[in-house]
Structure 1
Amino acid sequence: MATTEPTTVPSSDGDAAAAKYHHPYTPYDVQMQFMKTVYDICVRGDGQVGILESPTGTGKSLSLLCAALTWLRHHKKGQYEASLLSQVHDNADEPDWVVEQMLRQRRAELASKWERREARLAAARRKEKLAATAGASARAPDKGGKRRRVDDGPRSRAQRTEDEEDTEFLLGGSDGDGQETGAASELAAGDDRLSWLSAETRAMLEKAGLVTGTRAGAREMGDRLHDEDEDALGQDDIKIYYTSRTHSQLTQFIAELRRPQFPSSMPPGAKAVSAVSKDESPSVEPVKHIPLSSRQRLCINPAVARLGSVAAINDRCAELQKPQKRRKDQDQDQATTSKGCPHIPSANPADALLFRDTALATLPDIEDLYQLGHRLHVCPYYASRTALPGAEIITLPYPLLLQKAAREALGIRLDRRNSVVIIDEAHNILDAVASVHAASVRLSELHRARDLLQIYVRRFGKKLKGANRVMVGQLARVIQGLSAWLANAQESAMSTTGSTPGIVDPTALLKHKGADQINLFALVKYVQEAKLAYKVESYARYLESDTLTDDSEGNGRATTPVLHTLTSFLLALTNLANEGRIFYELVPGDGGQRPDSRLSYLLLSPTHAFASIAADARAVILAGGTMAPFTDYETHLFPTHTPDKITTLSCGHVIPPENLCVWTLAGRTAGTASFDFSFEKRTQPAVLSDLGAALLNLCTVVPDGIVVFFPSYGYLDQVMEAWKKRDAGSTGPGSVWERLQAKKAVFCESKGAASSDSVLAAYSSAILDDNKIKGQGKSGPNGALLLSVVGGKMSEGINFADRLGRCVVIVGLPFPNRHAPDWKAKLEYIASTGGENGAEAARQYYENACMRAVNQSIGRAIRHRGDYAAIVLLDQRFRSPRIRARLPAWIRGGMVQQSEDKGLAGMLGTLGQFFRGKKDAS
């Protein structure tokens, strides 16, 4: 593993280094090393993997995109040259003058396509700039001055006829085995250029007369929707897929994407396209970027978007694209305006093309994409797919990349030639893979699902035919089987001799009434394709809309997508048995009612779920601020990759060495090891007393903000309770808690996200307003102390820069409870699959999970190159080489030698000198 020492000196290559990777600033040595590594991984390709660590504040995201896009432009230019060489090779037997003529023709063809595409995108940019200047941000009217009618969703029962109810809610359109029938199937076999449309949409287009059921008709519609796709030059171009945890992080990345400029990939013989403004160089080719997201974030149809849940929105969207039977007594205009979604790209082909070009030309984020679709009356979710062939970099959140079904739905195809995957903030990628494949269902949800299904069958049961009737009956039996098992388990667990929550044998779940004889694969497929969950739940909402007000408690319950939740759980049950486990547990009931019970599916290993990405992409790069330790990523994500396929890099920080002081406090006095926060010893009175004394002294020497991370919320509560008690017979100034409050304003994190936000705001204000208070001649605490939890709200994604985080204290080691059912199952699985070294592999995984959480907490401080802070590792176990080896390289480099043997007095002296030096320097 390559490492570098922290440095504050810009790269020795200076401006030349910046030009090499088109970095907008003068890069530092660590940035140059990082960019070179990313570039080399992309060049080698063929399944290369990079696991790269660069601390927060070192410009990691900007370095990632500069290296990757520089390589991409070089690669695309090389592809143009390679296409010309292949022309020569394929015609080696022809006379030279024939080959030369072919080359001229091919060169002119490539140049012409590139010029037309760039000119079209430049025109789109000019139009957007003019619109922005004119303030044309309001929604434009439709052609003819009329607004298109939007389906308002289910009307009340009084407004519906029985036939309308049947049309809206009755199951149909499937032969029951998941196969489409009739024209939809024929059209689906047509031209690949329509593959981005769903089968339902293709069938609807055929019925509307926009296409025919023939292959020629499919090609005709493809031409109408993509009348300029021959200019895209992107169908087979390589794509960079950039993913991060949240949309806010992706938005920040897109802001970074707008900083650098990259050279043109102009083919030989092409002419530079005129720039949009004086600030743009004709030799620069703007980056073509498309963000992807779910329907929940991009749907512009209010009748669909208001459904709330992702599953309900997905099903309603698909339902609106199905061909609808028109009653004989409906007039033509009513029939065509009351059914279907008016925003699908095929309904507005010209606007869809304008959407595509504008999106590719303007580096939009998700909000920009939504506003553009809203303005053009084009669905951003579907229209963004039309831009994929021409995009160079595609941004999307974790779940859309990590689930193969989601990738296929979005039209993402990974292959060894044409895809580079960059996963930023990848420190929690193992948990993210498990999370997107997790599922759970409660007994109360099963009861609700049973009730909904009974209501639906009472209304439509006699009209259900063939496979529809069989499948609805099978779903009812599965619900009965799961309910019976959970009810029995709940009664047993609540009795005095009841069983404890733990792992469940999946074969035992469905034995009731023969539900174990049902083919879950076929059932889940049917529920998904027939949109059964949506139809049943939307029918229930439709009935309850007559009797429930918007603010009624029952209406909120009615919109809970319990059948979608059940479907997700049944889908999880179809996974390979050795990859996951099912757990049973008691959980609190709603509204203080009796306890509920829950079944949860946990993915034990991410290997199989991640395999399609690891095996298919040209290169996969995992990058993060605190990736150490690396071994879990190699073992569990890339187990089949040979060492020569994996590159690891741990960069130093850009801060100077004197801006970081890392201290291991193993004991209160020199030479002792009294700070042992293991589970068995951490609540001992002496340990709690010594911890309070250490923090009181730290508050004396550390200015501004101190953030202390505890192993768990439960332990934090125990510590606070002990500190608030005044020692019997004490003649001192008060309890530990009172003395801490006298030195600094004290704040404490709680589990609720909303309360955490308010605590963080109060903590920040106490520090930032401190100088104002003292400037008014008032006395008060010196800064603030924040008590938080490793793995909590404050330990990830929070910026404690500058005065907000002059010292970070890690109290103990937050090892998970290895006796908890989920962790016990994980460790047993790793041990069983690790061969002779299985026990050691399980131990390493356990320790790595702990240290990843610690490293994330440490990373809350030192947020930019001018920042400085102290890190205190408060536990004698931080002496261990095994533990220290799992710390980031830049933290290990900042450790004070033999600090673990110098005790509290040594730490106070060193930190006092450290902060006095910073004060003098300022």
Structure 2
Amino acid sequence: MPIVKINGYTIKLPFNPYEAQIKSMETLLNSFDTGNASLIESPTGTGKSLAILCAALGYLETLKGKENEESVKKVKTTILDENLKKFFNEQSSEEEKKKVGPKIYIASRTHKQLDQLVSQLRTTDYNPSISVLGSRTQYCINSKAKNALDINTACRDLVDSKQCHFRHGVGRLKKKVGNIFDIEEIKEKGKNCAGCPYFAARELAENADVIFAPYNYLLDPRIRNSMDIDLDGSIVIIDEAHNVEDTCRSAGSFEFDSKLLDLWTNELLSAARKSALLEKDVKPNFLTLIEFIGKFKKHKGITCNESNFEFNFKIFKGKQILQQLEQMEISQISFNVFTAALGELCGNEEANSLMSQSLTQSLRRLEFVFSVLFTKSTKEYVLCYKQNKKESEKFEFSFWLLDSSLIFNLTAARAKAVCLLSGTLTPFYAFSSELKFGFKNQLVAPHILQSNQVFIANVQKGHLKKELTGTYAISETKEYLLQIAKIIEEIGEMTTPYGGTIVFLPSYAFLKKVNNYLKIKAILEPQTGGNEKFEKVLKSYRQAIEDKTRSVVFMCVYRGKASEGIDFKDEYARAVVAIGIPYPSIKDPQINVKKEFNDNQSRSDSTGSSFNGSQWYSTQAMRAVNQALGRVVRHPKDWGSVFLLETRYKTQYIKKQLPAWVTEEMKEYETFSSTKANYKKFLEEKKMEKFK
């Protein structure tokens, strides 16, 4: 395997690295050494995953090599006879178990993406000890717990009552599993040796060189604590980090409705009754929690604004939040009483076992939000009260965090170094502004594509000579829908001999409208049904490509499951069609208050570096577009086409937010008819190359 020296570290790779990989590894290693945070944009197909893995493991291996050299020097100076040698060897075997260098966390958005990272790790010459953190839902092999309504509570009850024989086999499983494993592998071995994969993965993480985890495990303080994740002095590498800002805001936000309040109350009442059997009298603590959450029902008199949604709403900002809470008899004093009671119950093993994990986590989230509101500041939050139009007794409270830095800095401040990577991170100043963190190391890695590998067209009009401007008003017209449908049909027909066509649209509602105008039978990304249904549809799409019996078009939505984390290489994505620009709904109150928050931040920032509301709004849309475009051309020998059916890409402000590999090759066409000849030529050239 090729070996390269970077920043004094020896890095082993499975093949000669691309320039993008060298630059990415240089930036990562600089961060590991200096502690300076990194932002790295490395386009699809540039070997980003391998760069992450090899830089991290080369760094660790070099540190271990230096540690071993120091150990040898000590041995030579201290060993005087064979007895001392024997003693030293016994001691050193224990010392070897101690970790050398910082713990490395490699995170991505989904477990599917983590599986891909582990698969890439197997192609290298490294053999680190790893662990892959996941939930009981992913790992559990006990049918009693798996089939329960609440798997977490069922697991805890089975373990506490010593009725889960898999829990007792964790030690066996840890010995059976190799250094490198994925979730399915450890589950299979767990079934074979009757060992629990969930607890085995958690225990293996204690001494692992590298820990893989979804990045909300690292960013969300509640999940981080429940998983016993210690980031102190660690290196945190987050891949597919374009969603980090949204993840942080989500982690710091909390929503609950009247139905959930009733469920909490009933569960706490049940726990209070059962607590009579416990040695310590904790019933008053349960009653305190019931009294506190009951205060949210004292919301009468809130006058809501009319909306086009199924609910009316009212927004409270800053001190208005505290004033509204005060009207419901929620104050700093009552919150302190609530916190003390919750702390006592969670700290008492018997009492804690009477509450489900979902209830405990919900109350802890509520505690986190209120701790910020009462002890830090109210400016980072808004409170949105919603009331159902048809059933006024149904209501919802939403505490929305608007400042993602509040959560991100809780993670970043503890780590030795934080590195964010994605194929779509630019503009970098958006991250610096939103996360309020200094990313001193910044890199946009060069793409490895040659110009003859991609055909990129920005099409302005369809066959009716009407402009393809996908604003809400225009996209509802029959002319627009007819033009879009005809272009999709023609691209699908031309592309099918070479592979599939993936179409991205702004919403499921719009997808259905376009599909009604199609004369071909397209495959539709499911709106509901979870991963199982999506995988079934994905399988049918791939099968249709292999059959080549009809035009194969996969209709998907921006930000949907197909838009990231799926490897549509080669014939599985010969064409990507991007329709419209998926701006978030301006009617959504959460979007509006976030825009307003950013505008206020920008106005009060004398440096002019803050991200204003319009910039944030535009970036939200363009990141979704760029992720979708990344489904095409997945490796150095791959090829494909991109069709942007939208006139607004002509404007410089929007165009410059597209990836460089797109703008460098993009050509503007007045109509799709004028595009076809060049696209046909491109496809024929690819056909000729295949037979060379």
TM-score by length of 2: 0.83
CA distance in 2, matches of 1:429, 1:711: 21
Query: What corresponds to 1:471 in structure 2?
Result: 285
Pairing partner for 1:77 from 62, 65, 86 = 65
Query: What corresponds to 1:707 in structure 2?
Result: 502
CA gap of 1:678–1:305, structure 2 versus 1, over 3 A, is closer
2:453 is equivalent to residue 659 of structure 1: yes
CA distance in 2, matches of 1:903, 1:35: 43
Identity %: 25
1:321-353 CA-to-partner distances (Å, cap 9, x unmatched) read xxxxxxxxxxxxxxxxx67988878xx9xx84x
CA distance in 2, matches of 1:761, 1:681: 34
| CA displacement at 1:694 relative to structure 2 | 3.3
1:697-721 CA-to-partner distances (Å, cap 9, x unmatched) read 4345433422221112233334445
Query: What corresponds to 1:523 in structure 2?
Result: 338
Pairing partner for 1:241 from 98, 105, 113 = 105
2:21 is equivalent to residue 31 of structure 1: yes
2:547 is equivalent to residue 752 of structure 1: no
2:542 is equivalent to residue 764 of structure 1: yes
- Larger deviation: 294-303 or 68-77? 294-303
2:167 is equivalent to residue 391 of structure 1: no
Pairing partner for 1:365 from 164, 182, 193 = 182
CA distance in 2, matches of 1:343, 1:756: 31
The AA in structure 2 aligned to 1:657 is S
Structure 1: state its 5+ residue gaps.
1-13, 88-100, 119-227, 263-285, 321-337, 541-558, 724-736, 774-780
CA distance in 2, matches of 1:840, 1:673: 35
CA distance in 2, matches of 1:846, 1:395: 31
The AA in structure 1 aligned to 2:116 is Q
Is the CA contact (8 Å cut-off) linking 2:503 and 2:578 kept in structure 1? yes
Does the residue aligned with 1:609 lie in a helix, a strand or coil?
helix
| CA displacement at 1:510 relative to structure 2 | 4.5
CA gap of 1:849–1:300, structure 2 versus 1, over 3 A, is same
Counterparts of 1:39-58 in structure 2, within 5 Å, are 39-42=29-32, 45-58=33-46
2:235 is equivalent to residue 423 of structure 1: no
Does the residue aligned with 1:919 lie in a helix, a strand or coil?
helix
The AA in structure 2 aligned to 1:249 is Q
Counterparts of 1:766-845 in structure 2, within 5 Å, are 766-770=544-548, 773=549, 781=550, 783-834=551-602, 835-836=605-606, 837=608, 841-845=612-616
Query: What corresponds to 1:871 in structure 2?
Result: 642
CA distance in 1, matches of 2:637, 2:476: 39
2:11 is equivalent to residue 21 of structure 1: yes
| CA displacement at 1:882 relative to structure 2 | 1.9
| CA displacement at 1:446 relative to structure 2 | 1.5
CA distance in 2, matches of 1:109, 1:862: 63
The AA in structure 2 aligned to 1:500 is N
| CA displacement at 1:384 relative to structure 2 | 5.1
The AA in structure 1 aligned to 2:503 is V
CA gap of 1:651–1:312, structure 2 versus 1, over 3 A, is farther
Query: What corresponds to 2:247 in structure 1?
Result: 432
CA distance in 2, matches of 1:464, 1:391: 39
CA distance in 2, matches of 1:814, 1:480: 40
| CA displacement at 1:579 relative to structure 2 | 2.4
CA distance in 2, matches of 1:46, 1:619: 8
Pairing partner for 1:232 from 92, 97, 100 = 97
| CA displacement at 1:521 relative to structure 2 | 4.9
CA distance in 2, matches of 1:16, 1:444: 60
Query: What corresponds to 1:157 in structure 2?
Result: none
Higher Rg of the two aligned structures = 1
Pairing partner for 1:288 from 129, 150, 155 = 129
| CA displacement at 1:785 relative to structure 2 | 2.2
| CA displacement at 1:26 relative to structure 2 | 3.0
Pairing partner for 1:67 from 34, 55, 73 = 55
| CA displacement at 1:301 relative to structure 2 | 7.0
Aligned residues: 671
2:397 is equivalent to residue 599 of structure 1: yes
Does the residue aligned with 2:397 lie in a helix, a strand or coil?
strand
CA gap of 1:818–1:377, structure 2 versus 1, over 3 A, is same
Is the CA contact (8 Å cut-off) linking 1:816 and 1:823 kept in structure 2? yes
Is the CA contact (8 Å cut-off) linking 2:312 and 2:388 kept in structure 1? no
CA gap of 1:248–1:16, structure 2 versus 1, over 3 A, is closer
2:484 is equivalent to residue 691 of structure 1: yes
Is the CA contact (8 Å cut-off) linking 1:47 and 1:616 kept in structure 2? no
Does the residue aligned with 1:585 lie in a helix, a strand or coil?
strand
Query: What corresponds to 2:666 in structure 1?
Result: 895
Is the CA contact (8 Å cut-off) linking 1:628 and 1:855 kept in structure 2? no
TM-score by length of 1: 0.64
Structure 2: state its 5+ residue gaps.
none
Pairing partner for 1:650 from 420, 433, 445 = 445
CA gap of 1:386–1:919, structure 2 versus 1, over 3 A, is closer
Does the residue aligned with 2:612 lie in a helix, a strand or coil?
helix
Is the CA contact (8 Å cut-off) linking 1:807 and 1:871 kept in structure 2? yes
CA distance in 1, matches of 2:444, 2:14: 23
1:107-152 CA-to-partner distances (Å, cap 9, x unmatched) read x99999997799xxxxxxxxxxxxxxxxxxxxxxxxxxxxxxxxxx
CA gap of 1:453–1:65, structure 2 versus 1, over 3 A, is closer
- Larger deviation: 64-73 or 757-766? 757-766
| CA displacement at 1:913 relative to structure 2 | 1.2
CA RMSD of aligned residues (A): 4.3
Is the CA contact (8 Å cut-off) linking 1:582 and 1:601 kept in structure 2? yes
Does the residue aligned with 2:444 lie in a helix, a strand or coil?
strand
Is the CA contact (8 Å cut-off) linking 1:702 and 1:911 kept in structure 2? no
CA distance in 2, matches of 1:884, 1:115: 64
| CA displacement at 1:315 relative to structure 2 | 6.1
